[in-house]
């Protein structure tokens, strides 16, 4: 059961449009100044549940964000540990939270825009070279597979190895590109057991993002004609074969779109 409020696309657009109507100078001197100091508007309207969630996420954010120096190429540890904390707080079955709730964009928009807008903004400020205004709409609310806080929950869920420590160990050497490729390449749907097996296998393999991207594409193609669990070695054997088939990539992928 979702204990948060909800925010429709239309409601999110209205709030963000108000931010975008400000000049860059006014926006930064008022709104961003508050966010950089951990202050948000209408905090008194948040429920006790909202505030508890916010405070728990902020502890992790404050521990890891300073280490990034604002460099987007150093954000992965922040994303990983925020994801693990969000998953801990919104664990399937805990307080009635369901997978259906985790698929509800209105809930994630509410969290992103109303509960943790400061953290969402600091993690994903607008990219001026892309013509963005004051808010990175994709990461705040507009694209279902790019809402930042939602992608982190699903990244951990699809990679879960039974406990937080084991999951962190499997994911610790990855990068932001791995989050994007896993979430944005679902094929005909997320196959939970298979995805978790693939992520465990990847932890033992080459960690170039292009290599992982090749595996996700190959998996989607193969799953159209075969059932991995019925092969010799089951899903584990299938996952190993996937990685064996994809050639190692020497060049580091430079995927600008992944950070929009």
Q: Are residues 127 and 195 in the same domain?
A: no
Taking the CA of residue 231 as centre, how many other CA atoms within 13 Å lie in the half-sphere pointing to its CB?
17
Grouping H, G, I as helix, E, B as strand and the rest as coil, residue 155 is: helix
Grouping H, G, I as helix, E, B as strand and the rest as coil, residue 113 is: helix
Q: Are residues 183 and 165 in the same domain?
A: no
Q: What is the pLDDT of residues 121-168, one digit of tens each?
A: 999 999 754 555 899 999 999 999 999 999 999 999 999 999 999 999
Boundary (domain end) residue, out of 138, 154, 170: 170
Q: Are residues 60 and 120 in the same domain?
A: yes
The pLDDT value recorded for residue 234 is 95
List all residues 6 or more positions away from 123 whose beta carbon is below 8 Å from its beta carbon: 65, 75, 78, 79, 139, 148
Boundary (domain end) residue, out of 153, 170, 187: 170
Listed residue (162, 182, 176) closest to 80, CA to CA: 176
The pLDDT value recorded for residue 247 is 74
Boundary (domain end) residue, out of 170, 195, 221: 170
Contact 228, 194 (CB under 8 A): yes
Mean pLDDT of the region 162-181: 95
How confident is the prediction for the chain on average, in pLDDT?
90
Q: How far is CA 24 from the centre of its chain?
A: 27
Q: Are residues 34 and 155 in the same domain?
A: yes
Using pLDDT thresholds of 50, 70 and 90, give the confidence band for residue 254: very low
Lowest mean pLDDT among 54-63, 65-74, 143-152, 166-175: 65-74
Q: Are residues 68 and 40 in the same domain?
A: yes
What pTM was estimated for this model as a whole? 0.92
Q: Are residues 147 and 193 in the same domain?
A: no
Q: What is the pLDDT of residues 38-47, one digit of tens each?
A: 999 999 999 9
243: tokens are 């990685």
Residue 20 has pLDDT above 60, yes or no: yes
Q: Are residues 112 and 230 in the same domain?
A: no
The pLDDT value recorded for residue 33 is 96
Please give the C-alpha separations between residue 143 and each of 50, 79, 87, 90, 230, in angstroms, as whole numbers. 23, 18, 20, 21, 35
Q: How far apart are CA 72 and CA 159, in angstroms?
A: 23
Q: Are residues 186 and 160 in the same domain?
A: no
- Which range marks the domain in which residue 19 is found? 1-170
Tell me which DSSP letter residue 235 carries: H
Angle at 26 (CA atoms; ends 24, 31), nearest 5 degrees: 95
Q: Are residues 13 and 137 in the same domain?
A: yes
Q: Are residues 216 and 228 in the same domain?
A: yes
Residue 243 has pLDDT above 70, yes or no: yes
């Amino acid at each position: 059961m979702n204990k948060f409020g909800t925010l429709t696309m239309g409601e999110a657009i209205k709030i963000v449009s108000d931010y975008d109507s400000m000049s860059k100078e006014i926006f930064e001197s008022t709104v961003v100044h508050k966010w950089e100091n951990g202050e948000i508007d209408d905090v008194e309207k948040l429920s006790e549940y909202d505030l508890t969630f916010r405070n728990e996420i902020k502890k992790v954010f404050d521990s890891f964000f300073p280490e990034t120096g604002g460099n987007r190429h150093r954000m992965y540890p922040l994303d990983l540990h925020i994801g693990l904390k969000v998953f801990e707080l919104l664990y399937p079955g805990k307080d009635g939270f369901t997978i259906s709730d985790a698929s509800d964009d209105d809930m994630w928009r509410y969290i992103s825009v109303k509960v943790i807008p400061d953290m969402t903004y600091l993690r994903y400020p607008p990219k001026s070279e892309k013509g963005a205004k004051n808010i990175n709409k994709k990461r705040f609310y507009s694209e279902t597979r790019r809402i930042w806080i939602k992608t982190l929950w699903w990244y951990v869920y699809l990679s879960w190895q039974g406990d937080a420590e084991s999951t962190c160990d499997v994911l610790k050497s990855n990068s932001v590109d791995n989050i994007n490729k896993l979430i944005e390449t679902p094929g005909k749907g997320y196959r939970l057991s298979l995805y978790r097996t693939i992520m465990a296998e990847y932890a033992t393999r080459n960690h170039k993002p292009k290599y992982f991207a090749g595996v996700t594409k190959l998996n989607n193609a193969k799953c159209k004609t075969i059932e991995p669990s019925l092969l010799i070695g089951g899903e584990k054997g299938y996952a190993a074969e996937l990685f064996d088939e994809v050639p190692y990539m020497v060049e580091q992928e430079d995927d600008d779109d992944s950070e929009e």
